[in-house]
Amino acid sequence: MGTVSAVDQGSGTRLGIAELRKLWSAYGHDLLVHDPGGRGECLVRRGELIATAQALDPVLDRYRRWVDDVQHDEDLLLARVRLRGAERDRCVDMARETAGVAANHVHFGCPVMYGTPVMYGTGAQAQEAPPIPEPPAAQWEPPVVVGVLDTGCDPHPWFRDRPWFEPVPEVLDADDDAGQDRQAGHGTFVSGVLLQHAPGAVLRAQRVLSSLGFTDDYTVVSGLRSLRLAAASRGEHLGVVVLTAGCHTADDECPPILRDELALWSGSVVVAAAGNHGLRRPFWPAALPSVVAVAATGSDGAVAEFSNFGPWVDAVAPGVEVTSSFVRMTGNGGRDFGFASWSGTSFAAPRVAAAIATALHERRAPEEATRLFRPRSA
């Protein structure tokens, strides 16, 4: 299967999953590599189980002596069960032993990670380029609403005067080290890709991805549900939903709570990044049959070396040196808006999502748009 790694944009080297765990653990996140170097290698929240409401009592009956804490979410009908002692390292195996419970998998953000995007137009960088044109101020009727689950969306000039815009400010320095976090600005960038190719769409941002570059099953499902509830309260229909993070799992099956939540989205087209590990191994939720999985291509149209691939990939789109809107923290803690160039399947996915949104606007079937982005081998 190959081991999980991510490309360092600055050095061109690959960071193994153990290095990523160490990197994120330095910020206080207790993470566990399951089956290091093996076929089931994946990253999970150490000592954490997720149980459905129906399964919680049986889970507690079975594991009570190892349970340290239980947190309920009444809206999600889910609970997080935190283990104590040596059993914390057995959370994946314990989840396999009992129905209705699962480990809490860590999801990777999907730019070419751990390099800094080059920001244009600020005067702060040696490498400059002219700003790219602002997307037209279009407004489609009836509206086509696109949900974006990412790091948020800042009031960049491209967005702030549009009637639908509701800022979800980016967290630029979560670790408080006086420097911009590795994936801060990611959601603003992704939203800019969408708007460039679907300028009349309504974008709804939901923060699920940390500015350090990862999230987990529980947070993604919570974000999906929050997006659904917010749309219902507005009387909106979410035509397209974009997810730019994902995970591998021990058994190469989709995490159950994520699979069950996405089953409720049959009225929307869900588009997800295929991941940047250069592997054929299924990456979730992109590999779900109901989800449009998008790999990245370079300027030659070939799948990029960093991109995941395989029969579960449904579409390919440009994902190398994409240019879009960006926000960067200034030296005094302020914000500077400009443009950046970045690579990854994160930026291929919104390109396909924009094409699907345009098809919905034109009252065409989403499949027509997806066919335009089919992999060459399909």
pLDDT in tens, 213-248: 899 999 999 999 999 999 999 999 999 999 999 999
Is the Cα dihedral 253, 258, 259, 265 positive or negative?
negative
What is the C-alpha to C-alpha distance for residues 33 and 53, in angstroms, rounded to an integer? 27
How many residues belong to the chain? 378
pLDDT of amino acid 10: 41
| Tokens, residue 75 | 């809206």
Do 18 and 138 have their domain in common? no
Do 76 and 205 have their domain in common? no
| Residue 152 forms part of a structural domain | yes
Could you give the angle at the alpha carbon of 171 between the alpha carbons of 167 and 172, nearest 5°?
Answer: 120
The single-letter DSSP state of residue 91 is H
Least reliable range by pLDDT among 78-87, 170-179, 201-210, 248-257: 170-179
The rounded percent of the chain whose pLDDT value lies above 90 is: 71
Do 66 and 154 have their domain in common? no
Residue 75: active-site member: no
Do 134 and 22 have their domain in common? no
Last residue of a domain, one of 107, 128, 153: 107
| Residue 185 forms part of a structural domain | yes
| Residue 273 forms part of a structural domain | yes
Last residue of a domain, one of 76, 107, 138: 107
> Strands, DSSP E only, in 53-171?
67-73, 78-83, 101-109, 118-120, 145-150
Do 74 and 128 have their domain in common? no
| Residue 113 forms part of a structural domain | no
| Tokens, residue 144 | 């086509």
The arithmetic mean of pLDDT across residues 141-147, rounded, is: 97
pLDDT of amino acid 27: 83
| Residue 112 forms part of a structural domain | no
What does the mean pLDDT of the chain come to?
Answer: 88
The rounded percent of the chain whose pLDDT value lies above 70 is: 90
Do 198 and 302 have their domain in common? yes
pLDDT of amino acid 196: 97
Last residue of a domain, one of 107, 138, 156: 107
- Residues 280-298: tens digit of each pLDDT: 999 999 999 999 999 999 9
Beta partners for residue 16, in sequence order? 5
Instruction: Select which of 34, 186, 197, 248 is catalytic.
Output: 186
- Residues 186-211: tens digit of each pLDDT: 999 999 999 999 999 999 999 999 99
Do 165 and 277 have their domain in common? yes
Do 65 and 126 have their domain in common? no
> In total, how many domains does the chain have?
2
Q: Residue 51: which of 42, 61, 43 has the closest Cα?
A: 61
The single-letter DSSP state of residue 90 is G
| Confidence at 377, pLDDT banded by 50, 70, 90 | low
What is the DSSP annotation of 325-350? EEEEE-TTS-EEEEEEEE-SHHHHHH
Residue type, 93: D
Top mean-pLDDT range of 75-84, 102-111, 129-138, 141-150:
141-150
The arithmetic mean of pLDDT across residues 24-46, rounded, is: 92
Least reliable range by pLDDT among 57-61, 158-162, 279-283: 57-61
Top mean-pLDDT range of 7-11, 73-77, 220-224, 321-325:
220-224
Residue 128 has pLDDT above 50, yes or no: no
Residue 5: active-site member: no
CB 206 within 8 A of CB 233: no
The single-letter DSSP state of residue 284 is B
What is the C-alpha to C-alpha distance for residues 183 and 251, in angstroms, rounded to an integer? 28
Do 53 and 127 have their domain in common? no
Beta partners for residue 130, in sequence order? none
Instruction: Select which of 5, 105, 150, 248 is catalytic.
Output: 150
Residue 164 has pLDDT above 90, yes or no: yes
Do 43 and 142 have their domain in common? no
Element (H, E) at 293: strand 291-297
Do 294 and 181 have their domain in common? yes
pLDDT of amino acid 111: 77
Q: Which residues contact 41 (CB under 8 A, 6 or more apart)?
A: 1, 3, 4, 17, 33, 34, 35, 248
Instruction: Select which of 211, 324, 325, 346 is catalytic.
Output: 346
What is the DSSP annotation of 210-279? -TTSEEEHHHHHHHHHHHHHHHHHHT--EEEEEE-EEB--TTSS--HHHHHHHGGGTTSEEEEE--SS--
Residue 143 has pLDDT above 70, yes or no: yes
Instruction: Determine if the peptide bond prior to 256 is cis (ω within 30°).
Output: no
Could you give the angle at the alpha carbon of 215 between the alpha carbons of 252 and 71, nearest 5°?
Answer: 95
Residue 346: active-site member: yes
Q: Residue 191: which of 204, 182, 179, 180 has the closest Cα?
A: 204
CATH number reported for the structural domain that contains residue 166 in this entry = 3.40.50.200
| Tokens, residue 91 | 């959370």
Q: Which residue has the tokens 């779900």?
A: 288
Do 242 and 188 have their domain in common? yes
| Confidence at 130, pLDDT banded by 50, 70, 90 | low
| Residue 339 forms part of a structural domain | yes
The single-letter DSSP state of residue 108 is E
| Confidence at 14, pLDDT banded by 50, 70, 90 | low
- 182 or 253, which is more confident: 253
The arithmetic mean of pLDDT across residues 345-366, rounded, is: 97
| Residue 378 forms part of a structural domain | no
Task: Tell me the angle at which helices 345-361 and 186-197 cross, rounded to the nearest 10 degrees.
Answer: 40
Domain of residue 41 covers 5-107
Residue 167 has pLDDT above 70, yes or no: yes
Residue 99 has pLDDT above 90, yes or no: no
Least reliable range by pLDDT among 15-19, 140-144, 225-229, 287-291: 15-19
Is the Cα dihedral 169, 190, 150, 365 positive or negative?
positive
CATH number reported for the structural domain that contains residue 52 in this entry = 3.30.70
| Residue 186 forms part of a structural domain | yes
The arithmetic mean of pLDDT across residues 148-172, rounded, is: 96
